[in-house]
Amino acid sequence: MNRFINLVFFLSVSLSSCLFPGTASVKLRRNYYHKTCPNVENIVTAAVTKKFQQTFVTAPATIRLFFHDCFALGCDASIMIASSDGSKAEKDHPDNLSLAGDGFDTVIKAKEAVDAVPSCRNKVSCADILAMATRDVIALAGGPSYEVELGRLDGLSSTAGSVDGKLPQPFFNLNQLNSLFAANGLTQKNMIALSAAHTIGFSHCSKFANRIHNFSRETAVDPALNQGYAAQLRGMCPKNVDTRIAIDMDPKTPRKFDNVYFLNLKKGKGLFSSDQVLFHDPRSKPTVNTWANDSHAFKRAFIAAITKLGRVGVKTGKNGNIRRNCAAFN
């Protein structure tokens, strides 16, 4: 029976890899470092916990860093590379300039902790450290804990141009969201689950200013937005506000990773149009309603989605290596 189950799993994974070349789940496995650095997960967790205790921003910053990394060139830590005089790296693309420095610092600190163990030095990739750190901050913020598949190598390329058209925008409708996620082998259900990462973190006012100041010729405020919430947003983000001003994305529980994100959508309190559309579009509304009422179902779906995200564009063999410094190529 076990042999049959293993065969079915292998075939399903192989089929997935063929249909979605961005995924490479067959090349990843749990306990990948059990021989080379057996205590790596505990080392990373300790470093991430220390950073989290210093600032809560560690959590949303690390999650967002992981997502932006995976959706551009795959989950290969190419987002970590610093630009050089002759080349503008991924992290300096306009869509990545708002990534909080605490996310980068979390990976760097965890890498230093791992490499401080002589037997682990230069044995663990930055890409895997980012994946583990993401799992850890989600749990630290009150979200679900899950096993992380490992075995990614670090990418050998990082260009700003590779980010063009690869990341969801705050004004996207459901078709645009589904199309972008499908290009990475992710379903609508996966997309809705991952969107709930907006349950923590913050956004700069410029990302949603059009919804509260100049939505259309007929109305200044997006009618899909809760009017009381819109008034609060206008107070916090007046016209011509300093672009550095940022507000919580979840007005109810901004420091807890939970399903309140979906409850907010039902009340018209999705900060971005791309959030609120998940409730207003009849194709996604049933899922929002289900997860608003069942936090356990949401957590199971989120684990499945972020595990699948972690398989996107994985580098192995000659297509990658293990960086000595996460911010620079070897």
| Ramachandran area for residue 122 (φ above 0: left; ψ -120 to 50: alpha; else beta) | left
To the question of whether residue 258 is assigned a binding role by annotation, the answer is yes
Please state the three-class secondary structure of the chain as a single string.
CHHHHHHHHHHHHHHHHHHCCCECHHHCECCCCCCCCCCHHHHHHHHHHHHHHHCCCHHHHHHHHHHHHHHHHCCCCHHHCCCECCECCHHHCHHHCCCCHHHHHHHHHHHHHHHCCHHHCCCCCHHHHHHHHHHHHHHHCCCCCCCCCECCEEECCCCHHHHCCCCCCCCCCHHHHHHHHHCCCCCHHHHHHHHHHHHCCEEEHHHCHHHHHCCCCCCCCCCCCCHHHHHHHHHHCCCCCCCCCEEECCCCCCCCCCCHHHHHHHCCCCCCHHHHHHHHCCCCHHHHHHHHHCHHHHHHHHHHHHHHHCCECCECHHHEECCCECCECC
To the question of whether residue 168 is assigned a binding role by annotation, the answer is yes
To the question of whether residue 281 is assigned a binding role by annotation, the answer is no
To the question of whether residue 198 is assigned a binding role by annotation, the answer is yes
Annotated catalytic residue, options 68, 93, 204, 296? 68
To the question of whether residue 74 is assigned a binding role by annotation, the answer is yes
Give the span between the Cα atoms of 30 and 32, in whole angstroms: 5
Give the span between the Cα atoms of 103 and 105, in whole angstroms: 5
To the question of whether residue 95 is assigned a binding role by annotation, the answer is no
To the question of whether residue 275 is assigned a binding role by annotation, the answer is no
Active site residue 93: no
What is the total residue count of the chain?
330
To the question of whether residue 270 is assigned a binding role by annotation, the answer is no
To the question of whether residue 128 is assigned a binding role by annotation, the answer is no
Binding-site residues for Ca(2+), in ranges, read 69, 74, 76, 78, 90, 199, 250, 253, 258
Annotated binding site for heme b: 198
Tell me the binding residues for substrate.
168
Catalytic residue list: 68
Q: Per the annotation, where are the binding residues?
A: 69, 74, 76, 78, 90, 168, 198-199, 250, 253, 258
